Amino acid sequence: MIRDITIGQYFPGTSLIHKLDPRMKIVLLVLNIAALFLCRNFFSLLLMFVMSVAWVLLSRIPFATILKGLKMILVILVFTAFLQIFYNDDGTVLWHPVESWDFKITTGGVFSAVFIAVRIISLILMSTLLTYTTSPTLLTDAIERLLSPLKVFKIKVHSLAMMMTIALRFIPTLIEEIDIIMSAQKARGADLETGSLVQRAKALVPILVPLFVNSFRRAYELAFAMEARCYGGDEKRTRLRVMKLGGKDFAMLAVTLVCFAAVVVTSYVNMGSFFLFEKVI
Amino acid sequence: MAFLEVKNINYSYSKGTPFEIAALKNCSFAVEKGEYVGVIGHTGSGKSTLMQMLNALQKPDSGAVLLDGKDINTDKVTARDTRFRVGLVFQYPEYQLFEETVRKDIAYGPTNMKLSPEEIEQRVLEAANIVGLPSDLLDKSPFDLSGGEKRRAAIAGVMAMKPEVLILDEPAAGLDPIGRKVIMDMINKYRASTGATVLLVSHSMETVAAVADRILVLNKGTIAMDGTVDSVFSRAKELIEMGLDVPAVTRIAVCLKEMGYEVNTGVYSVADAADMLLHLLGKKEGTA
């Protein structure tokens, strides 16, 4: 069912991760993602994977919920890993069906496939955790503050943040709307499940057209409502919640920085074959 | 055997998550051919969910829906065929229009039924006639129509399938009194020309009382009352306690009764209320 989509959803809670300053959470996420992409061997990757699992455990969000979110990207995951097998010719050859072809599977290929899969999983774990543990308002508030230095270049940071808030706010509304439109067209005999690819694509027209029309209508209504109330959040707006960094924010920053350093050292400083594997990618 | 039968239906949303809510609890009722049934309930009473069960858009967790004695959820083909026999008009149906012309939009259902082009054309004209859409509007884009016309075009889209059971979920929501009357007249016209069973979902007792033969009252996922309009209104006090919007005259009657006057609290039309009050006043004058 379409209602099962959990990406971008927020699960209220009181865990350490929930209580972190949202600005710090975004910074830590960026650091962690950077570290993930800097990983060059299995040791550093394992470290980052353990880190992301630790984050999930700390958030006290049930693993079942997180796995449900992962299910959505399973296809992409398998596809990417599968392609990766053929992009790396290092190591010993495992399978080389036709001698004259360049097509072969090597240990290097398999390693890099596993590598990329673990990397994507860790990436998704950490980034979904950000939205799972931070309410949309706090999140955009944090983005606005992090981007506020850009005001120097006359970039309307507040408007950008407002747009993001609105977009996030309307995701559940849109999902509900798709559900209703699908049911309504099914009630008129729409067949969305059978037929060739072309037929199925055509069957989507009765759903997409009303969805777009209604979205535009809603956007206009919202804009008019905001204008009618003289909305002008750009200028000298004071805040109800003042964000302040605390001890736990700096503690998490310290842990993340240590991991980051460990990844960089093990990946880029030559230490021979001391760690599980030398350079994989 | 009843024409449309609902047997011990149970249904809950978001099963297996902490958000699980029971939407319907052990609901049973039967509707005969040609009946005009009003379905009433507070927001969240489960009336919309129940209506989506009747044309197999939602599957009950347990229990069955029988049309002509056959379970409608046995397989996908039966479920889809049921949707042509049990037409469902959603709330604010005008937001589901999508075609380039009104004609094509009304024809969407009949086309899905794989009827011949002549048959489709005829049905489109019939449906447009029932809802009172002039033929020059048929070649316009549905997005160029007025709000009321859009609503009528959307309802025509369901009527064109000639369902034996027509279910309308708050068809008059957001319309002025004249618009509401137009919609009610359309439904009567459809009934008269096809002999169809009609289920009218509403939270307004007044609307339903004026047109239906029978009323189903849903409360918190269960069927709280099922009977003729008079028998349901005779329990007016309970209706008010359920948070339903009973007609103003009924509320006056209930208040009078509480003040100790001997009145029938089951009145729902202004004419009956006038009679009731005259009777009461006359009696008082007599005793004074």
In what helix (H) or strand (E) does residue A93 lie, and over which residues does it extend? strand A93-95
User: CB-based contact (8 Å) between B54 and chain A?
Assistant: no
Min Cα–Cα distance to chain A from B57, Å: 7
Q: Residues of B with CB below 8 A from A181's CB? A: 95-96
Convert the pLDDT of each residue in B146-203 to its tens digit.
Answer: 888 999 999 999 999 999 999 999 998 888 888 889 999 999 999 999 999 999 998 8
pLDDT tens across B97-127, in order?
999 999 999 999 999 999 999 999 999 999 9
**What does the pLDDT read at residue A246?**
85
Scored b (16 or more CB within 10 A) or e, B23-47 reads bbeebebebeeebbbbbbbbeebbb
Closest CA–CA distance from residue B157 to any residue of chain A (Å): 8
Is A71 buried (19+), middle (13-18) or exposed (0-12) by CB count in 10 A?
Answer: exposed
Q: Residue A8 has what pLDDT? A: 62
pLDDT given for residue B93 in this prediction? 92
Pair B54, B167: CB distance under 8 Å: yes
Q: How much is the ipTM here? A: 0.86
Q: Of the candidates B95, B109, B143, which has its C-beta nearest A188's C-beta?
A: B109
Return the HEC string of A110-135.
Answer: HHHHHHHHHHHHHHHHHHHHHHHHCC
Structure tokens at A191: 């067949």
Whether the pLDDT of residue A104 is over 80: the answer is no
Helix (H) or strand (E) holding B168: strand B165-169
Average pLDDT over residues A55-81: 84
- By Cβ distance, the residue of B14, B76, B112 closest to A189 is B112
Q: Tell me which chain A residues have a C-beta less than 8 angstroms from the C-beta of B143.
A: 213
Residue A136 sits at the vertex; the CA angle it makes with A144 and A223, to the nearest 5 degrees, is 75
Looking at the predicted structure, is the pLDDT value of residue A275 above 50? no
Distance between A60 CA and the closest CA of chain B, angstroms: 15
Cross-chain CB nearest to A209 (options B57, B98, B157): B98
Span A171-190, mean pLDDT?
A: 90
Q: Collect all residues with Cβ–Cβ distance below 8 Å to B283 and sequence separation of at least 6.
A: none
Residue type, A24: M
Q: What's the pLDDT score for residue B245?
A: 78
Q: Do A188 and B112 touch (CB under 8 A)?
A: yes
Which chain A positions have a beta carbon within 8 Å of B113's beta carbon?
Answer: 189
Task: Say which residue, A271 or A140, is predicted with more confidence.
Answer: A140
Mean pLDDT on A62-76: 80
Contact A174, A51 (CB under 8 A): no
pLDDT at B18: 64
CB spacing of A187 vs B98 below 8 angstroms? no
Residue of B nearest to A65 (CA): B17
